[in-house]
Amino acid sequence: DLLDGLLLKRGAVLLRGVKVNSSDDFNNLLPAFGETFMNYRDGFSPRTKLSDRVYTSTEYDADFFISLHNELSY
C-alpha cells in the first residue's frame, strides 16, 4: 500500500539498497509488488529466459529495427 500510494503521488518510485544480485533474486522480489507477471511468449525479438518470469532484453543487434507497440520486445 505504501508503494502504491507513492507511485500514485509521484508517478515513479526508485528503490535503493535492495539486494538483487541475480535473476532469481529479482524473481523472488516480484510478488512484493502484488502484480501478476506474464511469461514472455509470441514476442517479436529473441530473448533468453534467465529464471521464472525474468528474461533478457532483446538480443537483436543495435542496427535492427523493432517496430513500435511491440512492448514484449523491449
How does pLDDT run across 3-51, given as a tens digit for each residue? 888 889 999 888 889 888 998 888 888 887 776 777 777 777 788 888 8
The pTM of the full predicted model, rounded to 2 decimals, is 0.55
Answer for the pair 54, 27: CB distance below 8 angstroms, yes or no: yes
49: which DSSP letter?
E
Q: How far apart are CA 34 and CA 45, in angstroms?
A: 28
User: Nearest-CA neighbor of 26 among 45, 51, 60, 62?
Assistant: 51
Is residue 48 classed as helix, strand or coil in its secondary structure? coil
Q: How far apart are CA 13 and CA 36, in angstroms?
A: 19
